[in-house]
Amino acid sequence: VRSKLTIKVGVVGGTGYTGVELLRLLAIHDEVEVVAVTSRGESGNPVSSLFPSLRGFLDIDFCDPESTDLSVCDVVFYATPNGIAMQQVPELIAKGVRVIDLAADFRIKDIPTWEKWYGMEHACPELVEKAVYGLCEINREQIKDAKLIANPGCYPTSVQLPLIPLLKKGYISSENIIADCKSGVSGAGRGAVVSSLMSEVNESFKAYGVSGHRHLPEIEQGLSEAANAEVQMVFTPHLVPMNRGILSTIYVDLKDTDAQTIQTYLEDFYKDEEFVDILPFGSLPETRSVKGANMCRIALHQPQGRNKLVIVSVIDNLVKGAAGQAIQNMNIMFGLKDDAGLQMPPLLP
């Protein structure tokens, strides 16, 4: 008998992995009422018929996006493919509904860069300017009053959380940065493509997008702003034969500051944050230590005492890398504590 009264929530595109993860988390959020989950293909069917895991937890049918009035919502989450939200968001914003876009439509401030990497014309460049990049721990103040949140990408979250404070402070070089990142396959979405088949992914490991991946400009934008200079880095994503989890191994050049000072600084920087956990120096975080939870765990290493700092950062790509951070953004926007509805420990094993 929870009093789910405070926030009326709509979810657009509830049939993908980001969508069902949003629903899993929203279903037990005490301050939330889910009033609409849209899907063109599943309209009229119970959400729990597509996702039996939600039977008993969320009793609502998918509704048709055309005939659903989302303006009754306080906030709408877009868990849609890139390019959808930008078509619909202006009208919602105009009606006073706040929006959190889990896709990439509003992440890149430079429109030509966005259009080059995403291969389409942007439908509302004027909103991009006003959108707040929802990396919660970095941009909390702007998020509070935001009308439109660009929820960060999964890889960018794992890479920027450790690097932004260090670049801002000038503790590491802005050159020679390499992010070697590894993700579980749910990051590729629930689309029916051969490359995501079990028999293609399981018992194999590969790099992809080595020559260029859309998260590169997103990360470089964040790092450049932090460094107050143009940062160019190498970003190599890899596909891990597992469902959930991202681990980023980040190589940076030390400048004059020793590794222990950096450790202490980072611990201090995030000491009041519930969802960023700086591990003891030399720790070896596993992705399963954050599975199902809204958490980023970070560890620093200085191999052989040489001049490279190696940073290992883990998140669950569907939680802190997507749905969890989106709800954290909602919590901040609506004056709740960051961890409202997000207090579950990771699932191990």
Applying the rule CB under 8 A, the residues between 144 and 173 that interact with a copy of itself are: none
Cα–Cα distance, 155 to 219 (Å, whole number): 8
Contact criterion met (CB below 8 Å) for 177 and 166: no
Where is 149: in which H helix or E strand? strand 148-150
Cα–Cα distance, 63 to 47 (Å, whole number): 10
Token code pair at residue 139: 């941009």
CB-nearer residue toward a copy of itself: 38 or 289:
289
Applying the rule CB under 8 A, the residues between 175 and 204 that interact with a copy of itself are: 176, 178, 180, 182, 184-186, 190, 192-194, 196-204
Kindly state whether residue 251 participates in binding a copy of itself, applying the rule CB under 8 A: yes
In this chain, which of 41, 44, 56, 96 binds a copy of itself, going by CB under 8 A? 56
Applying the rule CB under 8 A, the residues between 311 and 330 that interact with a copy of itself are: 312
Minimum CB separation of residue 275 from a copy of itself in Å reads: 9
Cα–Cα distance, 178 to 251 (Å, whole number): 5
Token code pair at residue 166: 């260090």
Catalytic residues: 154
Applying the rule CB under 8 A, the residues between 255 and 314 that interact with a copy of itself are: 274, 277, 279, 282-293, 295, 297, 301-304, 306, 308, 310, 312
Stretch that binds a copy of itself, among 4-12, 50-58, 59-67, 325-333 (CB under 8 A): 50-58
- In this structure, the number of other CB atoms found within 10 A of the CB of residue 28 comes to 15
CB-nearer residue toward a copy of itself: 27 or 136:
27
In this chain, which of 242, 254, 255, 265 binds a copy of itself, going by CB under 8 A? 242
Kindly state whether residue 254 participates in binding a copy of itself, applying the rule CB under 8 A: no
Q: Which of 232-265 are b and which e, b meaning 16 or more Cβ less than 10 Å from the residue's Cβ?
A: ebebbbbbbebebbbbbbbbbebeeeebeebbeb
In this chain, which of 235, 296, 326, 328 binds a copy of itself, going by CB under 8 A? 235
For residue 136, the SS3 value is helix
Minimum CB separation of residue 245 from a copy of itself in Å reads: 6
Q: How far is CA 237 from CA 182, 193, 269, 286, in A?
A: 6, 19, 27, 17
| DSSP secondary structure letter of residue 114 | H
Applying the rule CB under 8 A, the residues between 16 and 45 that interact with a copy of itself are: 17, 20, 24, 27-28
CB-nearer residue toward a copy of itself: 153 or 245:
245
Minimum CB separation of residue 342 from a copy of itself in Å reads: 11
Cα–Cα distance, 297 to 290 (Å, whole number): 8
Contact criterion met (CB below 8 Å) for 321 and 183: no
Stretch that binds a copy of itself, among 82-90, 103-111, 162-170, 211-219 (CB under 8 A): 211-219
Kindly state whether residue 61 participates in binding a copy of itself, applying the rule CB under 8 A: no
Minimum CB separation of residue 146 from a copy of itself in Å reads: 27
